[in-house]
Amino acid sequence: MARVRPFVTFRELTSARGRCTRVQYLVYGIGSLALLLVLPFGIGGLLSLFGPPHILDLNLSTILTRFTILTAVLVACLVVYVLFCITAKRLHDLNLPAVTGLLLFGGTVSDAIVTFGDAYVPLDGDLADFVSLGAYIVAGLMVLALCVWPGKKGENRYGTDPGIDEPAAEASET
């Protein structure tokens, strides 16, 4: 049985080139989502430490609070980028272009349009809820499909089959 090689470097994790298996997509995707879910709780804990009972200088408290929030936003942006890279690799394994992964952000985009773009795109009430819900359903179905759909066997235009470990493949040929 072939062994799946994990991503071992930060460069491999943050590159949208190549392919990844369903197992890699699940492991790194769940890890990234867990980090995104835990991040607000960690930030809340840090912000409670910066409150007036613990730090008497209110200027220092404000600076630390702003720094913590900025750091959290930057980490969240990095995690979302890693999620997009992993999704692009998974789509490459299915011989699809990475642009297809933008469907995952449909709910976020529709929510942003409803929140900020009311002057340009008048969506409100039930129509806005329907559009957002539909976009999130499409994104959820896409993630489910990426988790269960088997990749293309052999080499494709995006690289070699990630389900085959190189030394094991060479050993089986001899």
4-51 confidence digits (pLDDT tens): 566 667 888 888 888 888 888 888 888 888 888 888 787 777 777 766
Record the pTM: 0.72
Distance (Å) of CA 36 to CA 33, 52, 63, 138, 150: 5, 27, 23, 21, 27
Token pair listed for 145: 């499909």
Whole-angstrom distance between the N-terminal and C-terminal Cα of the chain?
A: 16
pLDDT, one tens digit for every residue, the chain (174 residues): 556 566 667 888 888 888 888 888 888 888 888 888 888 787 777 777 766 665 555 565 677 777 878 888 888 888 888 888 999 999 999 988 888 888 777 767 766 766 666 656 666 667 777 777 888 888 888 888 888 988 888 888 888 877 665 554 444 444
